[in-house]
């Protein structure tokens, strides 16, 4: 069993201390990617049983030479885990008992090396599952504090909100904040000697719902974004409340009200200014580490860089998707932005150039309108085990199921993508021929008040590389006004069939077949060979038999069989209760299976030799796949009966043998709505261990509504056959250099001690800074090395008072 | 790694058929540039009768002799810019048609054959009767040649009586003659440029024979091979080892030292190749030494081709509007003449380069003149600030390419800023239908077209109506634009009624729609007529 297709953008990723690794929450696990290659190195698994929501890497203390690779993770299963992510080992586990939606550890940086000595305090935003969501004004979101060292809860609740909110913390761990409707809650956390009753809180008010929040790294400045796209910047927040003497003077507050421009209703801030560029909610705000710039992003898919002093803007456009998170690494030249289409771009910082992308499977995009029965399905490329997914930005993404990474992306419509509410142009269908050499896509342009409607059919040819397709032919309005319902390729022939709701189907052939007969017109494109229709009925599905000799087309409630070459109607089979939505031949057998939706859903198996119904079920089947060799097929059935208790598992996969109406096997699955099934032949390179028994097992892949998938052997008895452990067979530890070394190269191996030993002996004086720079300049170690010694020497050793 | 963010796509009309990628302009080779640098003119156009031969004098000033009708016309090679007739030309002491003029190696005498069978030798410095008359041929003499290699005493002739004779000119006597040298007319011949005693002749009996005039008359030819077609022209190539023969529509190159082996066949002419001559490309001063040699061939099909016999490749082709019979190339490299069957001599001339002046300083005095010292640039000089701007990268340099600037049309820029109406107006004012439709389709995709139309000013509406009037019935855009016109009329009816200009546009639109309906009617009629025929044919 293999799983894959997890979302990379469910929660913000985190860089490791050296900036070479990126820790990404992927479902129940944390995947660690190399930032230089974008490939997965290792996966932290086994700790959590639900989605991981946050990762916090322990920072390196200054004096420590070896890079520490420890991190804390929180999950919806109510646990916090402590990992060594270099060796992917679980070290510790803290139980919180409530689903954690967000976690921060504010004073993690202040703790230094010996973590035993001081306690980590985690602020967690949990969801109280005991309170029902139906209850009016239920405060389900709670912010609690945990001592991670002894795993005890500390103090009471910090805040209660309607929904669990995302916690943000300032860089030095001094402030903690959440957005709560039209307010910002800010807490000041004592850096040393943490005590619950020393936490102080202020509120900042706004007139719109706030969506994001960021703290300035070294000034007392705070930025908040709201749903209308405005960015508010509060300067000097909490001067009064967070003042050191902590004496609240009510009289002063009223007096200073007029002097605080832009600050609303007596909020505790010096000034508040507003910037506005975004047209919709600001999804993230982030101050650059030097504090000179503010990055913001949202649905527009543009990173806006604000210069804080002047308010000037710079843009990084065309990222192809709404943006969700922005993360900075300890290496100032590296940061990453998470896009809503399950892609993390790693940016080279000052120029915002994309150096690498970590691409997950594209998420299904929501349809706002019911589009004439187009069923945006995924298509499968059998030979390489790829899945072709339609994306929102007019692309077809090819994703390797076995390797769990993106292979390529084909741009179907050449149009700049803008995330909008009402989709006017989308890729509606994709079909791939059995050998993967041909691809057909249909993209639909919706009319604006019956103006400018356009459906175009595009045929693509595969290039030299896997999943690399180039456009061969565009056919505008293949069925004039009518929408295209199905596109099927004929196995072994350069032929495709499109069926339309307008009642006709067209057979398209590749022009190279007719080169010899038609010398004058040497076209290599596709052209229509024949047109057919059956009683003017709308046609909804088409399928070719395995050898390509018979074409079956569903005309409302009947199935018509055609000779594809001569376009002659051979036979008409049966009658269903409602229109057929999907058809498939079962392997090489004479059987045909059809799915029917509507009020009387039906799964029916037809026998072509007898031209009659063989057996049928009354089932609402979402997807259908038949194996190529064996006479088996699998259907994905939606369970939508109200008495079903298990809400999570809303689908069943049934595996049938065609001769027998009793299913061979059944599996319960989640998120079945919009899911799909396919039989795949095992990737020989992957199944090295299993290839020993000689036969290649047929695998069944199930892609659920969120494009997560699972691959399993439908015939094996044991549940789990293998894990998707692509153990770092490629060592990704490149000698990447950053910071000082990237600018000036590696430092010479000059040893500090050797360099400082002069020819003549000297007496160590009381003032070591006098001797530290003595010696000729060419033997002096670099300033970076001298600096720490020099500064350390300036500090006087404090006498131990306690003694 | 390259930036993976998406490229910017300019708007494109779905119905706009992209023109095939522009054929890269046929890059002009230096050779073609050389041949095209000749200025074309007609040298003589009043001759009417075919110009059968053109011959340049081997010495400066490279006079040109052209045989046409019963005269040999002489042209002054020294006159500039083009050739001009010599004062005492033409030589007209021919009783019948003159053939094959040939200059002696010093350019002082000219020999020519004639239809009567008489070979006459003229002096060129002044007009007068022929100096010598060589009579042995009974039939027309089409081949008279002085050997080129410093032999002032002899010439050879070949005639339609298949007689090949080698003459001692001063005594008007035949040194050696080969009666029945060929079995058909001898029409072509050439003396070897390395040994003047070796002569090649070509005949209409398809054969090419090599003769050595030092052997007794009774002996046979040294070498013979068959060209395969009646031989029109024979020419030794400068090395003396290769021989080019023209006949039929092929030119063949033979290795005569290697015993008459065929080396190459050039078959790029469509009709009979009539003449060959040697040319040189490159304009190195006085012609003789410089430049690569080329074989020029002309044909009845009107083409002149330049053939590189080192690479066996056609390097240039030129077309003339007549059948070509003869070709000549001045040894100075500045003139190229082509004779046609209708009496026109086409001439291409080239200005002499005056670059000798530069080199003369070195050659005449034999000393090196120091180049004028380069002025040191100072900040007072304007060019100081442009130092190094035109510096080219060296091979070893690591080149960092600047990202190519994306050129965007104005409507694209406006669309990028979501200024939809302005984009539409800009596209309309540019009057390019494909970009207008592209912008409209993009606006539809953004659901903004209706709003844009509603917001148009009267002037802008006028633009739009003008566009619709022109293109609404164009089949490619009709489906979209017809609907749009309807929509515009519905939405802006009040504005249109209140403005006379707009009403005028509407009248135009109406008229055009009526025309279109007319066309559709007639098309339907035609369809009605054809469909029964098709049904009958289908049975």
Q: What is the DSSP string of B17-50?
A: PPPPPPPPP-PPPHHHHHHHTSEEEEEE----S-
| A404 close to A724: Cβ distance less than 8 angstroms | yes
Q: Which residues pair with A328 in a beta bridge?
A: A335
Of B8, B12, B450, the CB nearest to A448: B450
| Residue whose token pair is 């031969």 | B53
| B489 close to B505: Cβ distance less than 8 angstroms | no
Cα A234 to Cα A238, A239, A291: the distances in Å are 10, 11, 14
Residues A270-284: tens digit of each pLDDT: 788 899 988 888 989
Per-residue confidence at A688, pLDDT binned at 50, 70, 90? very low
| Residue whose token pair is 């029409």 | B187
Radius of gyration of chain B (CA): 36
Interval B512-525 mean pLDDT: 93
Is the Cα dihedral B233, B236, B238, B239 positive or negative? positive
CB contact under 8 A, B446 and A318: no
pLDDT value at position A741?
58
Lowest pLDDT segment from A409-413, A704-708, B499-503: A704-708
pLDDT value at position A795?
74
| A559 close to A592: Cβ distance less than 8 angstroms | yes
Cα B417 to Cα A287, A296, B413, B422, B438: the distances in Å are 26, 19, 7, 10, 17
Per-residue confidence at A116, pLDDT binned at 50, 70, 90? very low
Task: Tell me the C-alpha distance between A726 and A744, whole Å.
Answer: 36
Is the Cα dihedral A782, A784, A785, A787 positive or negative? positive
Residues B83 and B202 in one domain: yes
Kindly list the residues from chain B whose CB atom is less than 8 angstroms away from the CB atom of residue A475: none
Residues 114-133 of chain B with CB under 8 A from chain A are none
- Flag whether B225 is in a domain: yes
Q: What is the mean pLDDT of chain B?
A: 83
pLDDT over 50 at B356, yes or no: no
A280, A315, A341, A451, best to mutate vs chain B, most B CBs in 10 Å = A451
CB contact under 8 A, A355 and B449: no
Per-residue confidence at B530, pLDDT binned at 50, 70, 90? very high
Which one, of B214, B218, B217, B186, lies nearest residue B200 by Cα?
B186
| Residue whose token pair is 């049975």 | B539
pLDDT value at position B524?
95
Alpha-carbon gap: B448 to the closest alpha carbon of chain A (Å): 8
CB contact under 8 A, B480 and A445: no
Least CA distance to B2: which residue of chain A?
A355
A780 or B478: which leads in pLDDT: B478
Interval B279-301 mean pLDDT: 73
CB pairs under 8 A between A and B: 72
B58 burial type by CB count under 10 A (0-12 exposed, 13-18 middle, 19+ buried): middle
Alpha-carbon gap: B524 to the closest alpha carbon of chain A (Å): 19
pLDDT value at position A354?
87
Given B332, B350, B368, the domain boundary residue is: B350
Which one, of A34, B126, B96, A743, lies nearest residue B110 by Cα?
B126
Q: Does A347 touch chain B (CB under 8 A)?
A: no
pLDDT over 60 at B282, yes or no: yes
Q: Does B490 touch chain A (CB under 8 A)?
A: no
pLDDT value at position B522?
95
Residues B153 and B60 in one domain: yes
Residues A438-487: tens digit of each pLDDT: 899 988 888 888 887 888 899 998 888 878 888 888 888 888 878 888 88
The bridge status of strand A334-339 relative to strand A29-34 is: unpaired
- Flag whether B404 is in a domain: no
Residues 469-528 of chain A with CB under 8 A from chain B are 476
Interval B32-51 mean pLDDT: 80
Q: Does A318 touch chain B (CB under 8 A)?
A: yes
pLDDT value at position B528?
94
φ and ψ of B134, to 5 deg: -105, 115
Kindly list the residues from chain A whose CB atom is less than 8 angstroms away from the CB atom of residue B447: 422, 424, 448
Residues B126 and B244 in one domain: yes
B5, B13, B16, B450, best to mutate vs chain A, most A CBs in 10 Å = B5
CB contact under 8 A, A448 and B4: no
Given B298, B325, B350, the domain boundary residue is: B350
Residue B513's domain comprises: 411-537
- Flag whether B454 is in a domain: yes
Q: Which residues pair with B114 in a beta bridge?
A: B98
Which one, of A704, A83, A681, A728, lies nearest residue A363 by Cα?
A704
pLDDT over 60 at A731, yes or no: no
A771 or B96: which leads in pLDDT: B96
Q: Does B365 touch chain A (CB under 8 A)?
A: no
Alpha carbon A634 to its chain centroid, in Å, reads 28
φ and ψ of A302, to 5 deg: -125, 130
Which one, of A1, A3, A115, lies nearest residue A709 by Cα?
A3
Residues B160 and B62 in one domain: yes
Lowest pLDDT segment from A255-259, A416-420, B159-163: A255-259
Residues B100 and B209 in one domain: yes
pLDDT over 60 at B140, yes or no: yes
Interval A788-792 mean pLDDT: 77
B392 or B274: which leads in pLDDT: B274
| Residue whose token pair is 């009267």 | B458
Per-residue confidence at A800, pLDDT binned at 50, 70, 90? low
Which one, of A459, A460, A534, lies nearest residue A500 by Cα?
A534
Is the Cα dihedral A737, A740, A744, A750 positive or negative? negative
Torsion angle, CA of A33/A34/A35/A37, rounded to 10 degrees? -120
CB contact under 8 A, B1 and A447: no
- Pair of tokens at residue A751: 């040893």
Interval B128-156 mean pLDDT: 85
Alpha carbon A190 to its chain centroid, in Å, reads 36
Task: Tell me the C-alpha distance between B362 and B373, whole Å.
Answer: 18
Alpha-carbon gap: B508 to the closest alpha carbon of chain A (Å): 23
pLDDT over 60 at A641, yes or no: no
Kindly list the residues from chain B whose CB atom is less than 8 angstroms away from the CB atom of residue A425: 445
Lowest pLDDT segment from A105-114, B234-243, B444-453: A105-114
CB contact under 8 A, A354 and B4: yes
pLDDT value at position B4?
57
Least CA distance to A279: which residue of chain B?
B418
| B263 close to B241: Cβ distance less than 8 angstroms | no
How many Cβ atoms from other residues are within 10 Å of residue A291's Cβ? 14
Q: Does A345 touch chain B (CB under 8 A)?
A: yes
Instruction: Report the share of chain B in percent with pLDDT over 70.
Output: 88
Per-residue confidence at A246, pLDDT binned at 50, 70, 90? very low
Kindly list the residues from chain B whose CB atom is less than 8 angstroms away from the CB atom of residue A393: 6
Of B3, B6, B483, the CB nearest to A451: B483
Q: Does B445 touch chain A (CB under 8 A)?
A: yes
B246 or A236: which leads in pLDDT: B246
Kindly list the residues from chain B whose CB atom is less than 8 angstroms away from the CB atom of residue A343: none
The bridge status of strand A121-127 relative to strand A100-104 is: antiparallel
Interval B429-442 mean pLDDT: 90
Q: Which residues pair with B518 in a beta bridge?
A: none
Q: Does B478 touch chain A (CB under 8 A)?
A: no
Given B305, B330, B350, the domain boundary residue is: B350
Sorted by sequence, the CB contacts under 8 Å of residue B333 that are 6+ apart come out as: B280, B282, B283, B284, B287, B290, B291, B350
Task: Tell me the C-alpha distance between B310 and B305, whole Å.
Answer: 15
Kindly list the residues from chain B whose CB atom is less than 8 angstroms away from the CB atom of residue A39: none
How many Cβ atoms from other residues are within 10 Å of residue B389's Cβ? 7
CB contact under 8 A, B5 and A418: no
CB contact under 8 A, B4 and A420: no
Interval B451-478 mean pLDDT: 89
Longest C-alpha distance within chain A, in Å?
A: 109
CB contact under 8 A, A451 and B5: no
- Flag whether B306 is in a domain: yes
Torsion angle, CA of A254/A258/A263/A267, rounded to 10 degrees? -10
Q: Does A341 touch chain B (CB under 8 A)?
A: no
Interval B345-374 mean pLDDT: 59
Task: Tell me the C-alpha distance between A534 and A500, whole Å.
Answer: 12
CB contact under 8 A, A424 and B483: no
- Pair of tokens at residue B377: 């640039």
Most confident by average pLDDT, A512-526, B18-32, B110-124, B506-520:
B506-520
Lowest pLDDT segment from A290-294, A621-625, A678-682, A701-705: A678-682
A448, A473, A474, A734, best to mutate vs chain B, most B CBs in 10 Å = A448
* ipTM, two decimals: 0.77
* Count of domains forming chain B: 2
- Flag whether B361 is in a domain: no
Kindly list the residues from chain B whose CB atom is less than 8 angstroms away from the CB atom of residue A424: 444-447
Residues B156 and B229 in one domain: yes
Residues A364-402: tens digit of each pLDDT: 776 644 555 555 568 888 778 888 888 888 888 888 888
Alpha-carbon gap: A319 to the closest alpha carbon of chain B (Å): 5
Which one, of B119, B123, B202, B124, lies nearest residue B166 by Cα?
B119
Kindly list the residues from chain A whose CB atom is less than 8 angstroms away from the CB atom of residue B440: 452
φ and ψ of A256, to 5 deg: -85, 5
Residues B339 and B440 in one domain: no
pLDDT over 90 at B520, yes or no: yes
CB contact under 8 A, B14 and A476: yes
Task: Tell me the C-alpha distance between A579 and A556, whole Å.
Answer: 4
| A517 close to A499: Cβ distance less than 8 angstroms | no
Interval B73-94 mean pLDDT: 73
Task: Tell me the C-alpha distance between B325 and B100, whole Å.
Answer: 12
CB contact under 8 A, B447 and A320: no
Q: Does A530 touch chain B (CB under 8 A)?
A: no
CB contact under 8 A, B5 and A450: no
Kindly list the residues from chain B whose CB atom is less than 8 angstroms away from the CB atom of residue A414: 9, 12
Domain ranges within chain A, ordered by starting residue: 376-477, 728-803
Q: Which pTM value belongs to this model?
A: 0.67
- Flag whether B305 is in a domain: yes
Which one, of A107, A130, A129, A131, lies nearest residue A118 by Cα?
A107
| A757 close to A771: Cβ distance less than 8 angstroms | no
pLDDT over 80 at A559, yes or no: yes
* DSSP letter assigned to residue B60: T
Q: What is the mean pLDDT of chain A?
A: 78
Which one, of A765, A773, A774, lies nearest residue A790 by Cα?
A773
Sorted by sequence, the CB contacts under 8 Å of residue B448 that are 6+ apart come out as: A448, B420
């Amino acid at each position: 069993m293999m799983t894959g297709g997890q979302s990379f953008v469910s929660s913000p990723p985190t860089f490791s201390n050296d900036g070479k690794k990126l820790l990404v929450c992927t479902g129940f696990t944390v995947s660690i990617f190399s930032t230089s290659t974008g490939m997965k190195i290792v996966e932290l698994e086994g700790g959590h049983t639900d989605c991981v929501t946050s990762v916090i890497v322990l920072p390196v203390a200054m004096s420590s030479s070896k890079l520490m690779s420890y991190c804390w993770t929180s999950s919806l299963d109510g646990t916090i885990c402590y990992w060594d992510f270099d060796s992917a080992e679980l070290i510790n586990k803290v139980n919180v008992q409530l689903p954690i939606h967000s976690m921060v550890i504010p004073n993690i940086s202040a703790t230094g090396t010996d973590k035993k000595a001081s306690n980590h305090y985690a602020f967690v935003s949990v969801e109280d599952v005991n309170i029902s969501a139906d209850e009016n004004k239920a405060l389900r979101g709670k912010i609690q504090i945990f001592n991670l060292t002894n795993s005890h809860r500390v103090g009471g609740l910090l805040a209660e909100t309607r929904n669990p909110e995302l916690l943000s913390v300032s860089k030095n761990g001094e402030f903690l904040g959440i957005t709560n409707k039209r307010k910002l809650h800010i807490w000041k956390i004592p850096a040393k000697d943490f005590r619950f009753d020393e936490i102080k809180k202020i509120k900042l008010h706004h007139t719109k719902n706030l969506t994001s929040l960021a703290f300035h790294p070294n000034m007392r400045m705070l930025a908040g974004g709201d749903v209308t796209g405005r960015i508010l910047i509060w300067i000097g927040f909490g001067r009064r409340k967070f003042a050191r003497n902590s004496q609240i003077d009510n009289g002063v507050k009223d007096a200073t009200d007029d002097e605080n421009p832009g600050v609303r209703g007596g909020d505790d801030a010096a000034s508040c200014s507003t910037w506005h560029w975004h047209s919709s909610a600001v999804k993230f705000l982030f101050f650059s580490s030097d504090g000179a710039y503010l990055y913001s992003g949202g649905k527009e898919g543009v990173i806006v860089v604000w210069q804080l002093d002047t308010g000037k803007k710079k843009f990084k456009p065309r990222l192809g998707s709404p943006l969700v998170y922005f993360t900075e690494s300890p290496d100032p030249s590296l940061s990453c932005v998470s896009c809503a289409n399950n892609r993390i771009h790693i940016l080279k910082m000052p120029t915002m150039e994309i150096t690498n992308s970590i691409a997950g499977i594209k998420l299904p995009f929501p349809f706002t309108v019911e589009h004439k029965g187009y069923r945006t399905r995924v298509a499968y490329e059998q030979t390489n085990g790829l899945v072709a997914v339609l994306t929102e930005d007019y692309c077809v993404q090819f994703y390797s199921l076995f390797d769990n990474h993106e292979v390529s992306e084909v741009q179907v419509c050449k149009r700049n993508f803008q995330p909008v509410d009402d989709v006017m142009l989308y890729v509606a269908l994709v079909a791939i021929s059995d050998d993967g050499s041909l691809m057909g896509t249909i993209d639909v342009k919706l009319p604006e008040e019956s103006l400018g409607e356009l459906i175009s059919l595009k045929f693509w040819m595969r290039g030299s590389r896997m999943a690399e397709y180039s456009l061969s032919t565009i056919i505008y309005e293949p069925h004039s006004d009518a929408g295209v319902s199905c596109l099927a390729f004929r196995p072994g022939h350069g032929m495709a069939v499109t069926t339309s709701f307008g009642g006709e189907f067209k057979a398209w052939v590749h022009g190279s077949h007719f080169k010899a007969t038609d010398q004058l017109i040497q076209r290599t494109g596709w052209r229509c060979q024949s047109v057919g229709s059956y009683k003017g009925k709308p046609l909804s599905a088409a399928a070719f038999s395995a050898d390509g000799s018979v074409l079956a087309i569903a005309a409302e409630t009947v199935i018509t069989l055609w000779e594809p070459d001569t376009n002659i109607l051979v036979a008409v089979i049966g009658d269903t209760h409602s229109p057929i939505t999907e058809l498939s031949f079962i392997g090489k057998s004479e059987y045909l299976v059809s799915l029917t939706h509507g009020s009387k859903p039906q799964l029916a198996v037809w026998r072509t030799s007898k031209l009659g119904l063989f057996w049928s079920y009354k089932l609402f089947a979402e997807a259908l796949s038949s194996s190529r060799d064996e006479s088996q097929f699998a259907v994905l059935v939606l369970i939508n009966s109200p008495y079903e208790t298990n809400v999570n598992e809303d689908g069943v996969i049934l595996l049938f043998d065609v001769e027998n109406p009793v299913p061979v096997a059944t599996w319960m699955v989640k998120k079945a709505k919009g899911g799909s099934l396919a039989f795949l032949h095992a990737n020989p390179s992957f199944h090295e261990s299993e290839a020993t028994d000689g036969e290649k097992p047929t695998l069944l892949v199930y892609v659920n509504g969120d494009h997560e998938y699972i691959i399993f052997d439908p015939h094996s008895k044991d549940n789990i056959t293998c894990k998707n452990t692509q153990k770092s067979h490629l060592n990704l530890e490149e000698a990447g250099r950053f910071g000082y070394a990237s600018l000036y190269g590696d430092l010479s191996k000059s040893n500090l001690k050797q360099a400082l030993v002069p020819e003549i002996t000297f007496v160590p004086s009381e003032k070591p800074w006098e001797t530290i720079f003595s010696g000729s300049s060419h033997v002096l170690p670099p300033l970076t090395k001298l600096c720490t010694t020099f500064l350390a020497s300036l500090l006087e050793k404090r006498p131990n008072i306690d003694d | 790694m390259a930036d993976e963010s998406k490229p910017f796509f300019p708007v494109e009309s779905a119905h706009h058929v992209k023109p095939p990628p522009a054929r890269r302009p046929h890059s002009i080779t230096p050779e073609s540039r050389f041949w095209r640098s000749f200025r074309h003119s007609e040298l003589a156009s009043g001759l009417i009768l075919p110009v059968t031969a053109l011959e340049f004098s081997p010495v400066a000033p490279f006079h040109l002799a052209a045989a046409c009708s019963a005269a040999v016309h002489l042209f002054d090679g020294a006159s500039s810019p083009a050739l001009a007739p010599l004062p005492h030309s033409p030589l007209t002491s021919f009783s019948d048609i003159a053939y094959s003029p040939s200059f002696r190696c010093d350019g002082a005498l000219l020999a020519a054959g004639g239809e009567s069978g008489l070979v006459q030798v003229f002096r060129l410095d002044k007009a007068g009767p022929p100096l010598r008359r060589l009579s042995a041929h009974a039939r027309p003499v089409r081949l008279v040649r002085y050997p080129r290699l410093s032999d002032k005493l002899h010439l050879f002739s070949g005639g339609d009586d298949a007689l090949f004779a080698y003459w001692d000119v001063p005594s008007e006597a035949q040194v050696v003659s080969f009666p029945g040298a060929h079995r058909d007319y001898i029409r072509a011949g050439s003396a070897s440029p390395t040994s003047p005693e070796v002569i090649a002749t070509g005949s209409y009996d398809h054969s090419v024979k090599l003769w050595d005039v030092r052997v007794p008359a009774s002996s046979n030819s040294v070498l013979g091979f068959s060209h395969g077609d009646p031989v029109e022209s024979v020419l030794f190539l400068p090395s003396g080892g290769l021989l080019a023969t023209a006949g039929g529509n092929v030119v063949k190159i033979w290795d005569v030292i290697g015993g008459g082996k065929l080396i190459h066949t050039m078959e790029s002419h469509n009709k009979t190749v009539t003449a060959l001559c040697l040319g040189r490309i490159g304009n190195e001063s006085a012609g003789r030494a410089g430049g690569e040699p080329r074989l020029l061939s002309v044909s009845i099909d009107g083409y002149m081709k330049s053939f590189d016999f080192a690479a066996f490749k056609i390097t240039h082709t030129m077309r003339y509007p007549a059948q070509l019979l003869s070709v000549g190339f001045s040894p100075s490299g500045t003139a190229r003449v082509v004779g046609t069957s209708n009496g026109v001599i086409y001439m291409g001339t080239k200005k002499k380069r005056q670059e000798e002046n530069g080199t003369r300083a070195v050659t005449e005095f034999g000393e090196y003149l120091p180049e004028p010292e380069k002025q040191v640039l100072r900040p007072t000089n304007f060019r100081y600030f442009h130092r190094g701007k035109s510096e080219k990268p060296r091979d070893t340099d690591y080149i960092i390419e600047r990202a190519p600037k994306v050129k965007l049309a104005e409507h694209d820029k406006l669309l990028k800023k979501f200024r939809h109406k302005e984009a539409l107006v800009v596209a309309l004012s540019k009057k390019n239908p494909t970009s207008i439709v592209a912008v409209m389709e993009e606006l539809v995709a953004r659901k903004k077209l209706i709003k844009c139309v509603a917001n148009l000013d009267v002037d802008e509406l006028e633009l739009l109506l003008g566009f619709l009037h022109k293109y609404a019935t164009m089949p490619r855009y009709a489906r979209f634009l017809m609907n749009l016109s309807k929509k515009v009329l519905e939405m802006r009816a009040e504005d249109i009624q209140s403005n006379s200009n707009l009403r005028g546009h509407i009248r135009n639109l109406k008229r055009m729609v009526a025309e279109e309906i007319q066309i559709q009617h007639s098309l339907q009629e035609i369809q009605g007529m054809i469909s029964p025929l098709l049904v009958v044919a289908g049975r």
